[in-house]
Amino acid sequence: MSSKPYIYITRKLPEEIINNLCTFADVGMWEKEEEPVPREILLQETKKADALLTMLSDRIDEEIFQAGEKLKVIANLAVGYDNIDIELATKYGIAVCHTPDVLTDTTADLAFSLLLMVGRRLAESVELVKSGEWKSWSPLFMAGTDIHHKTIGIVGMGKIGEALAKRALGFDMNVLYHNRHRKMDVEKALGVHYRSFPDLVTESDYVVCLTPLTEETRGMFTKDVFRKMKKTAFFINVARGAVVIEEDLLLALREGEIAGAGLDVFEKEPIDPQHPFLKMKNVVALPHIGSASIETRTAMMKLCCRNIELILKNEKPISIVNEAMFLAK
Ligand SMILES: NC(=O)C1=CN([C@@H]2O[C@H](COP(=O)(O)OP(=O)(O)OC[C@H]3O[C@@H](n4cnc5c(N)ncnc54)[C@H](O)[C@@H]3O)[C@@H](O)[C@H]2O)C=CC1
Ligand SMILES: O=CC(=O)O
C-alpha cells in the first residue's frame, strides 16, 4: 500500500493543473467532464481519501464525513460553500477550503452582463435576428430600458457586490446596497448608499442578489418583495437559486409585478428545459457561469490544489472557511 496521501477529485481537471499534486500524492479523479460523480463512487473514494476536491454540485454531508476516516480537507471549487455542512465538517475535524477573490471580477462582469441583457433585451434581440423575424427598423422596435442614470440595488455588498458597484458607477448608475453590516468605508470610497432591504427593493430599477446562501438568505425574495419592486424593475440573481422562492418570482413575472429577470442560478440545476422561466421573453437564463472564464477557472482550480497541498503538508491554507478549526489543531 502506498504511503502517499490520496486525493480524490470529483470532476475531470486538466493534467497540467494536477501535475504538482501527483508529485507528493496519489490522485484519483472522476474522468467525465459533463457528468457529476455518482454518489456511491464518491462514498467509496472518500473512504480512502485524505483530501477531496469537490464541485458545488456535490452534496457534502454527514454520510461523507463518516465515510472519510482519513479525510483532512475538502477544497470546494467555488467561493460559495452551501453544498457543504460546515458545522459538521468542523466537528469531524475536516478543513473546508474555497475560492474567494480569484473569481470576484469575472463574476461581477457576468452580473453586469446579465443586467445589460435584461435591460436592453439583448438575448431577445439576438433570437429575433436569428429566427428571421427582423422585418424593419421602427421607433419602438425592441426598445428596452436604459442602464445609465438608473438605480441599481445590490443585495450582499461583499467582494463581488463591490466589484459590481464599480462597474455600475462606470455606467453612471446610482448605486444602493443592502448588506448584513453597513460598510461606511465602501460608502466613502465608492459613493454608494446604504438602504434597508425593503427600501432598496422599492427604489431600485435593477435589484441584484449577491449574498451567500444561508439560513438567513434562503427564500428571502418572496412575493411580498417582488410586489414592493417597481413594475418597470428587473431582478437579477447571481447568488444561488434558493435565495428566491421561484414560484413567487414566476408569479411576479406573469402578473407584471416586475419587468423581467436575469438568472444565472436556479434552485434545481440544471434547470428543467420545460421550466416556465425558459418560455418567458423577459427572462434571461444562464447555466451558472458566473466565474466561467478560462483564466478564472484555472485560478480557482490551482487555488484548490494549493489549499490541499498546504493542509496535507501541515501548513496554513490560503482560503479556509472553518479557520477556527484549523487554528485549534
Ligand atoms: N453565479 C456564480 O457563478 C457565482 C455565484 N457566487 C455567489 O455569490 C456569493 C457572494 O460571493 P462573494 O462576494 O465572493 O462573497 P462575500 O462573502 O465577499 O460577500 C457576501 C456578502 O453578503 C453579505 N450577506 C450575507 N448574508 C446577508 C444577508 N442576510 N443580507 C444581506 N447581506 C448579506 C455579507 O455580509 C457579505 O458582505 C457566493 O457566496 C456565491 O453564492 C459567487 C461566485 C460565482
Ligand atoms: O457559484 C459559484 C461560486 O463560486 O460560488
Query: Would the CB of 72 count as within 6 Å of ligand 1?
Result: no
> Among the atoms of ligand 1, which is closest to the Cα of residue 156?
22
Query: Would the CB of 119 count as within 6 Å of ligand 2?
Result: no
Do domains 6-102+294-327 and 104-285 share one topology? The answer is yes
Q: Of 45, 288, 297, 309, which residue is the catalytic one?
A: 288
Helical spans, DSSP H, in the chain: 15-22, 39-48, 62-67, 86-91, 104-119, 122-130, 159-170, 184-190, 197-203, 223-228, 246-254, 294-312, 323-328
Instruction: Report CA Rg, the chain.
Output: 22
Query: Would the CB of 161 count as within 6 Å of ligand 2?
Result: no
Looking at residue 324, its pLDDT comes to 80
> Among the atoms of ligand 2, which is closest to the Cα of residue 80?
5
Q: Of 16, 216, 269, 295, which residue is the catalytic one?
A: 269
Chain mean pLDDT for the chain: 97
Q: Render pLDDT for 188-197 as a digit per residue (tens, 0 to 9).
A: 999 999 999 9
* Protein residue whose Cα sits closest to atom 2 of ligand 2: 78
Shortest CA distance to 191 belongs to which of 209, 172, 210, 204?
Answer: 172
Looking at residue 245, its pLDDT comes to 98
Of 11, 265, 291, best ligand 2 pocket probe by most atoms within 8 Å of the beta carbon = 291
Q: Of 167, 240, 246, 257, which residue is the catalytic one?
A: 240
Query: Would the CB of 300 count as within 6 Å of ligand 2?
Result: no
This prediction's pTM:
0.98
At residue 197's C-alpha, the angle toward residues 171 and 193, to 5°, is 40
Question: Is 11's pLDDT higher than 60?
Answer: yes
Handedness of CA 123, 129, 133, 138 (dihedral sign): positive
Domain 6-102+294-327 coded CATH 3.40.50.720: yes
Q: Which three cell numbers stand for residue 86?
A: 460546515
* Sheet with 283-285: strands ordered across: 193-194, 174-178, 151-155, 206-209, 234-237, 260-263, 283-285
How far away, in angstroms, is 134 Cα from ligand 2 center?
37
Distance CA 13, CA 60 (A): 20
Question: Is 329's pLDDT higher than 60?
Answer: no
Looking at residue 33, its pLDDT comes to 87
Distance CA 6, CA 116 (A): 45
pLDDT range class, residue 325, cuts 50, 70, 90: confident
Spell out the CATH class of 104-285: alpha beta
**ipTM for the complex shown:** 0.99
Q: What is the mean pLDDT of residues 82-92?
A: 98
Question: Is 156's pLDDT higher than 60?
Answer: yes
Q: Which helix (H) or strand (E) holds 8?
A: strand 6-9
Of 103, 109, 269, 301, best ligand 2 pocket probe by most atoms within 8 Å of the beta carbon = 103
Distance CA 287, CA 304 (A): 22
Distance of CA 154 to the CA centre of its chain: 15
Position with higher pLDDT, 241 vs 34: 241
Looking at residue 1, its pLDDT comes to 64
Residue 203 catalytic? no
Phi, psi of 134 (to 5 degrees): -80, 105
Parse the chain into domains and list their residue ranges.
Answer: 6-102+294-327, 104-285
Q: Render pLDDT for 307-320 as a digit per residue (tens, 0 to 9).
A: 999 999 999 999 99
CB atoms within 10 A of CB 145: 16
pLDDT range class, residue 2, cuts 50, 70, 90: confident
Looking at residue 168, its pLDDT comes to 99
Local structure of 115: helix, strand or coil:
helix
Q: What is the mean pLDDT of residues 296-325?
A: 96
